Amino acid sequence: MNKLLVITGGTKGIGRAIIERFAREGFHIATCARNEKDLAALETFIKETYPATVFTMKADVSKKEEVMRFVQAVKDKYNKVDVLVNNAGVFIPGTIHEEEEGALELMINTNLYSAYHMARGFIHEMKAARSGHIFNMCSTASIMPYANGGSYCISKFALLGMSKVLREEMKEHNVRVTSILPGATLTASWEGVDLPEERFMKPGDVAESVWSAYQLSDRTVIEELVMRPQLGDI
């Protein structure tokens, strides 16, 4: 029986790479994003390329009601979630004392609250089944503040904190929780930056690490995985 991967923000970058990695293994896929055209293109590609089914839904995960609508749609369609990846995020550069009004709220809603509501939406079924793996896409910004990181760093520090708490809560229920902390990865967030491609990590490398962490036996969990470009932070 095929297993199910649920992932937010699956049409681009790391999310897209994770979907392709799990689809290659025959996982069913359920994902959401804000752009319907991108979702349709993803669905067509996966169905034509991999032995997997795909369920997509347009959703803005900065809005709780849209997160919960996606959660319910997945529950209506599938009996069990095996892997949940809270991947969707937004980065707005700026400093705390000068960034635009609303930057903190948008990044907290997108980077933290979406993961909180997604996890709460599926965790009870995982507990009941005594199986499941939750990955939260944190960042090196979760452990190291940097100039012009502003509210992004705040949101990612908070996400790592949530992941740590959830890990403690789920130990006795045999549900694994892993925090992924990538450094600079070649995604849309870095478009227009005048740096060579080789200076960044590949999204596929992050996806491979997620798959490897999932592949471990139930007796072992990678709690936190820090990844950086070979030459270090940018």
Whether the predicted pLDDT of 38 surpasses 90: yes
Q: Which residues of 94-131 are buried (b: 16+ CB within 10 A; e: fewer)?
A: beeeebeeebbeebbbbbbbbbbbbbebbbeebbeeeb
Q: Which of 50, 78, 152, 214 is catalytic?
A: 152
Give yes or no for a contact between 155 and 199, defined as CB atoms under 8 angstroms apart: no
Report how far Cα 211 is from the mean position of its chain's Cα atoms: 13
Share of the chain above pLDDT 90, in %: 88
- Tell me what pLDDT residue 189 has: 65
152 is catalytic: yes
Q: What is the pLDDT of residues 11-31, one digit of tens each?
A: 999 999 999 999 999 999 999
CA 29 and chain centroid, separation: 14
Q: What domains can you pick out in the chain, each with its CATH number? A: 4-227 (3.40.50.720)
Task: Give the tens place of pLDDT for each residue, 71-116.
Answer: 999 999 999 999 999 999 999 999 999 999 999 999 999 999 999 9
Residue 168: both structure tokens together: 């403690």
pLDDT recorded at residue 185:
85
- Look at residue 93 in the predicted model and tell me its pLDDT: 92
- Residue 155 · residue 109 · CB < 8 Å: no
Spell out where the chain has E strands. Answer: 4-8, 28-33, 54-58, 83-86, 133-137, 176-182, 224-227
Q: Is residue 52 within 8 Å of residue 3, measured between CB atoms? A: no
Contact 52, 27 (CB under 8 A): yes
Residues 120 and 96: their CA atoms lie apart, in Å, by: 30
Which residues fall within 8 angstroms of residue 192, CB to CB, at 6 or more apart?
none
Task: Give the angle 29-174-221 at the CA atoms, nearest 5°.
Answer: 75
- Name the pairing type of β-strands 28-33 and 54-58: parallel
Model pLDDT, residue 191: 66
Per-residue pLDDT tens digits for 185-232: 877 666 667 678 888 889 999 999 999 999 999 999 999 999 999 998
Q: ∠229-146-149 over CA atoms, to 5°?
A: 100
Residues 38 and 51: their CA atoms lie apart, in Å, by: 20
Mean pLDDT of 36-62: 96
